[in-house]
Amino acid sequence: MSKETFYITSPLYYVNDVPHIGSAYTTIACDAVARYKRLRGFDVCFLTGTDEHGQKIFKAANDKGMTPQAHCDFIASKFQELWKLLDIKYDKFSRTTSKNHEVIVQEFFNRVYKNGDIYEANYEGLYCEPCEDFKAAKDLLEGNICPVHKTKVQEYKEKNYFFALSKFQDRLSDYFDKNPDFIQPSYRKNEVLGWVKEGLKDFPISRQSVKWGIPLPVDTSQTIYVWFDALIGYLSPLLNDGDLVNLENAMKKYWPSSVHVIGKDILRFHAVYWPCMLMSAGYPLPEKVFGHGFLTKDGEKMGKSTGNIIDPYELINEFGTDAVRFYFLKEVAFGKDGDFSRETFINRINSDLANNLGNLLNRSLNLVNKNFNGEIENTNSDLLSLKIKVEETIKSYEKHIENLDLKDALDVVWQLVDATNKAFNDNAPWKMIKEGKVNEAKACLYETLEILRNISILVNPFIPSTSVKMYEQLGFDSFSLTSEWDCLGIGKKSQFFKVLEGKPIFPRVEDKMQKAV
């Protein structure tokens, strides 16, 4: 029996520069969802990758004295390097300079062209090179300044091929009506509905002046516009080795995607352009487009020019992969803007991971090792007080993560951590042992270990390395992706523990920078 598929994508990141913390944040979130779905038994395909064409790439390469392809190869390798450091387990890495991608893009273009939705015309308007997008005068700041990049847009005039976006106005509106959850969160949907209500305008999908791109099949003097090209990068890597390179083979298993996870700045391309392109080509639309917010640092927008940046490599090197993953997924409500501050980061790690979770694991294991030779069994199920709390947590966690409420999913797990800490301290099993209440002490310790086992499974998508360390200290040989989810709940795996020595899974963090001052 074949498994149900789940296809999630991060954006294809533009290779004008090395990856930054914003790209890392999006990809960590996608990885957490993909890991959760694997735990649930889905056949998961998680795609990330790089968008490698366009004038901006050509210019960035030229500025460094490199060929565009050499520049793309270098930056793509930096993304792959960082994803490895962040323990991101992607299944497909899309590169829009791959030969397969070029073939798939040209086939897609030809389908849309033959359907009468591409035509040739003169274009005159305003273009923002950093956005790789055309701008309406009303959307610009005074002096024709792009509100995103704070740079002046260019006057643009040339003969291009256009996609007849306006033809899909009613079809797209009707699709939104019939699929109210297509755009998430809901406040992003309102933004998109506003654009559609203003009226969809045809847009050019080729360039005469840009040579670094895929040649237009019907006119090789032009290249395909970078966004028309890049969106098809969600399809081209789905080919299996040995497949004939065509759209039918690319889309046979995982398409349509379950969710495209993107930054809110590229929402229009994914929620308006892409659905209409797919409608024209006669293909099914993605099930969901989720636009998340931006990250700031110390309350201010990040930027190299101001020096207000977070270097993901430095952060990982100082605090470790799981600490970085945990902070961004626990601190920031996925979908909304979020802020990073060093002080909050350290406090979050010390409070939630070192004090609450790590300390509970360490104390309970030490008591079992010291008093019961590392072995504990369930002596009396009637003495287990948190069984219902655990079941409620699992249901709530599941609901939140299915809705991509990643912070809320972690919050309910930490409410269970807090409740377990409270019960542990209130019951005081160390006192029970001294008072001769051995069965009661064993029941308390067994329940604590069982909850920690459940927690190790629930946190696995978020902090995978820590999850496995917890699991192993609790005496289990290996964390199995295929069976652990079915063992959630008190007593679902074993009535007996043979634990290892407790070692801190998250030692407290000191702020070295503050100490140096």
pLDDT averaged per 10 residues, the chain (length 517)? 89 92 94 97 97 93 96 97 98 98 98 97 80 75 79 83 96 96 92 93 91 95 93 97 95 97 94 98 97 84 66 93 96 87 93 95 96 90 84 97 97 97 96 94 94 96 96 88 87 89 87 53
φ, ψ for residue 411, nearest 5 deg = -60, -40
Instruction: Look at residue 458 and give its three-state secondary structure.
Output: helix
DSSP state of 4: P
DSSP state of 255: P
Asked if 111 and 163 touch (Cβ cutoff 8 Å), the reply is no
Report d(CA 350, CA 342) in Å as an integer.
12
Residue 314's Cβ-count burial label (10 Å; 0-12, 13-18, 19+) is exposed
Identify the pLDDT of residue 475. Answer: 94
Identify the pLDDT of residue 303. Answer: 61
- Predicted model pTM: 0.92
Asked if 258 and 300 touch (Cβ cutoff 8 Å), the reply is no
Report d(CA 468, CA 466) in Å as an integer.
5
Which domains, and CATH codes, for the chain? 342-498 (1.10.730.10)
Identify the pLDDT of residue 304. Answer: 55
| Helix H or strand E segment including 77 | helix 68-85
Identify the pLDDT of residue 479. Answer: 78
Identify the pLDDT of residue 516. Answer: 42
Q: Which amino acid is at 477?
A: D
Which H, E and C letters describe 431-445, residue by residue? HHHHCCCHHHHHHHH
